[in-house]
């Protein structure tokens, strides 16, 4: 029995295990609890049983946590849990996230044997000083070795780079990006450090031990990233994402197109086009509920048609391609200008957006302050459609 033709063509699987929890991390992870891996795999198999049959996938993304922390044997066992349920089709994009310290020849061979063709490497920096400031547990040399092994195996490689780390200078960010360009990776994701409640970093910030980067410095770092990566042949196709031609992340593009996707594991959120269902973040609660035959979901966020359309505006405008009015109306059943026309006119007047009558795009200035624009889009009549 196979899943219906209109079933989601994308799936995300969350692996919650890490060797070390970084000070800025607020993800659904557990560190130093490898004794739970067997139980996790059993619970994942049981959660996958809610699928009516094999799900043919155009994209599969395995994130975390640190999927590579499972090692070569653990990765094969994870794929064994997928058997009969998650079925990437020929030509599918299959991604795993990896810590540079975990990548060795055995892991790469196992990934290739499982059908992985893309690896997102949590490098964050190639400066030993910045890595220490970010509480990372790998070295610049391990990043370089991991990239070499992955590229030699024919895998597409994304490198995560973080800016605005404690004490980080603009020159250090520029050197990081120059090094990234020299590595020959296919995709780069650039993120500004965020200070999340409940993390160790926010506690150190509140006690005056750490300091945030100044807003102007953050902006110059990000503008420098755009200039360097575009100058190096990368396409800036979403606020935080840059790709060489033909190497955009297809899985993320499905999210940004508001297509349905499936998701499994603690904290994972699935989406049917209108409702986002999020599992319990605690790996312990998720496993207990799965093992007891209970629904592992903690939250059901059902959007109104208008709320879904407003969210579509936000994810569309985060992309450099912007929002096509006709395509937006066909997908949402609503007119862009009825929802955000007044805001758009303000943005155009301030130089934050351009509008050619058919397509709306944010300018660079608009992209740099885009997070502050979304409240206006989502605020009125969203009916639970916020970007939670």
CATH 1.10.10.920 in the chain, residue ranges: 305-379
Inter-residue contact 124 to 160 (CB < 8 Å) = yes
Within 10 Å of residue 123's Cβ, how many Cβ atoms?
Answer: 31
Which one is predicted more confidently, 6 or 337? 337
Rounded to an integer, what distance in angstroms lies between the CA atom of residue 202 and that of residue 225? Answer: 25
Rounded to an integer, what distance in angstroms lies between the CA atom of residue 298 and that of residue 278? Answer: 6
Inter-residue contact 289 to 37 (CB < 8 Å) = no
Q: Quick: pLDDT tens for 274-317.
A: 899 999 999 999 999 999 999 999 999 999 999 999 999 999 99
Rounded to an integer, what distance in angstroms lies between the CA atom of residue 352 and that of residue 370? Answer: 9
Domain 305-379, classified CATH 1.10.10.920, yes or no: yes
**Lookup: tokens for 346:** 């303000």
Superfamily holding 10-255: Aldolase class I (3.20.20.70)
Range list of H helices, the chain? 37-48, 71-82, 105-114, 128-133, 140-152, 170-183, 200-206, 215-231, 250-256, 283-291, 305-317, 325-332, 336-349, 364-368, 374-379
Helix, strand counts (H, E) of the chain: 15, 17
Rounded to an integer, what distance in angstroms lies between the CA atom of residue 67 and that of residue 21? Answer: 14
Residue 196 is predicted with a pLDDT of 86
Strands 55-64 and 86-98: parallel
Q: Quick: pLDDT tens for 354-366.
A: 999 999 999 999 9
pLDDT over 90 for what percent of the chain?
A: 84
CATH 3.20.20.70 in the chain, residue ranges: 10-255
**Lookup: tokens for 165:** 């780390």
Q: Quick: pLDDT tens for 20-71.
A: 888 888 787 888 899 999 999 999 999 999 999 999 999 999 999 999 999 9
Mean pLDDT of 309-338: 95
Taking 90 as the threshold, does the pLDDT of residue 88 lie above it?
Answer: yes
């Amino acid at each position: 029995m196979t899943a219906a033709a209109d079933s989601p063509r994308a799936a995300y699987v969350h692996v919650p295990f890490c060797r070390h929890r970084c000070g800025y991390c607020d993800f659904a992870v557990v560190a130093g609890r490898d004794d739970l891996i067997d139980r996790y795999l059993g619970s994942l198999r049981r959660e996958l049983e809610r699928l009516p049959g094999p799900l043919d996938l155009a994209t599969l993304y395995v994130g975390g946590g640190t999927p590579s922390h499972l090692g070569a044997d653990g990765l094969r066992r994870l794929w064994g849990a997928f058997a009969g349920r998650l079925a990437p089709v020929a030509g599918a994009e299959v991604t795993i996230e990896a810590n540079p310290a975990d990548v060795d020849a055995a892991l790469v061979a196992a990934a290739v044997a499982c059908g992985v063709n893309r690896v997102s490497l949590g490098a964050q920096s190639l400066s030993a000083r910045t890595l220490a400031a970010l509480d990372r547990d790998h070295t610049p040399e391990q990043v370089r070795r991991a990239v070499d092994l992955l590229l030699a195996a024919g895998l597409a490689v994304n490198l995560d780079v973080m800016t605005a780390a404690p004490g980080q200078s603009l020159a250090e960010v520029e050197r990081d990006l120059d090094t990234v360009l020299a590595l020959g990776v296919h995709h780069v994701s650039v993120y500004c450090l965020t200070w999340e409640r409940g993390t160790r970093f926010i506690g150190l910030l509140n006690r005056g031990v750490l300091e945030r980067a100044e807003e102007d410095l953050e902006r110059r770092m990000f503008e420098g990233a755009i200039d360097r990566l575009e100058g190096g042949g990368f396409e800036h196709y979403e606020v935080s994402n840059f790709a060489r031609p033909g190497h955009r992340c297809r899985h993320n593009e499905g999210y940004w197109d508001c297509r349905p996707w499936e998701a499994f594991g603690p904290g994972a959120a699935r989406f049917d086009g209108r409702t986002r269902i999020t599992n319990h973040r605690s790996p312990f609660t998720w496993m207990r509920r799965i093992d007891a035959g209970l629904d592992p979901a903690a939250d059901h966020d059902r959007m109104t048609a208008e709320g879904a359309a407003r969210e579509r505006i936000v994810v569309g405008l985060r992309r450099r391609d912007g929002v096509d009015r006709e395509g937006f109306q066909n997908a949402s059943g609503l007119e862009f200008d009825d929802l955000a026309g007044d805001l758009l006119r303000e943005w155009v007047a301030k130089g934050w957006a351009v509008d050619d009558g058919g397509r709306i795009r944010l300018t660079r200035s608009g992209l740099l302050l885009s997070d502050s624009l979304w409240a206006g889009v989502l605020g009125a009549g969203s009916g639970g459609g916020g970007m939670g």
